[in-house]
Amino acid sequence: MSQHSYQFDDLVAIEDIVRSASKSNLWVYYTQSTASYKADGSIVTEADLAMQQALTSALHKRYPQVLMLGEELSEQEQSEVMQSGADYWCLDPVDGTTNFHATLPLFSVSLALVSQGEILLAIVYDPIRNEFFSALKNKGFWVNQERITRPEQPPTLARAIAFIDFKRLSRELGISLIEDTPYKSQRNIGTCALEWGWLAAGRANLLLHGREKFWDYAGGVLLTEESGGMCQTFDAEPIFNNTLAPRSIIAASNPQLFELWTTRIRSVL
């Protein structure tokens, strides 16, 4: 059971915190950020560090009992937070850092709240469009604090738009999707969290990723489930398992498409 009851009022307050931090810390560096490389080859900019620091401070003031697991912490620090038994935030301060650094206007802020091994609250913020995708466990999904009517979802894979990161798929699976394409069209926008948000909103219908880190998917999993979609790993396991280990992703905007999509993908695995 959660150590605290999180309600819609919390969602509104947290969105305000995220928006304020973004205004103060993202635009200072947009078009003029410098990048350094981490051990895994990904980049980090001043915006990543400033956003993480600002959000850590602001969230702690309102929720002092909740710890912070941010992407830019060391792995040891992240593990200590996860193993503490306390409620904690999982934050990607700038998801799509490469896009941000290149001034490509596709990046986001991803924040999830984990309590007792469950994701209870999720926010993905698109600062370019000032658009929030938010969810509370068992309470629903919102876009800019409003319930939405999603576009009618296609009945078949052949009419679906798919978010696919080919770079992290096996050669066999990638070739299979290219030579016998089951969907109408494919996209990859360089920000995992925003892809999850758009999937939940019904703007795309399928998602496939061979390896997402915890902060890439933490918010998206809850957004998808609360909007009526479904998601699993390639091995048919729940994606979130309260570990830092990267996870494979199969997701769809509704159960019908999910069954068709998983059947097609697992026929190759």
Report all structural domains of the chain as residue ranges with CATH numbers, in order of start.
8-143 (3.30.540.10), 157-266 (3.40.190.80)
Q: Which of 193, 204, 209, 185 is nearest to 99 (CA)?
A: 193
Q: In whole angstroms, what is the distance from residue 239 CA to residue 223 CA? A: 13
| pLDDT class of 8 with cuts at 50, 70, 90 | very high
Is the pLDDT at 80 greater than 70, yes or no? Answer: yes
Q: How far apart are CA 24 and CA 150, in angstroms?
A: 32
Name the least confident of 5-9, 38-42, 123-127.
38-42
The bridge status of strand 108-115 relative to strand 88-95 is: antiparallel
Structural contact between residues 204 and 179, judged by C-beta atoms closer than 8 angstroms: no
- CA torsion 73-75-81-83 (nearest 10°) is 180
CA geometry: angle at 219 spanning 175 and 132, to 5°?
A: 105
pTM: 0.96
Q: Average pLDDT of 229-234?
A: 98
pLDDT of residue 1: 39
Question: Quick one: average pLDDT of 134-141?
Answer: 98
Q: State pLDDT tens for residues 20-53.
A: 999 999 999 999 999 888 877 788 999 999 999 9
Helix (H, G, I), strand (E, B) or coil at 143: strand
Give the integer Cα–Cα distance in Å for 14 and 10: 6
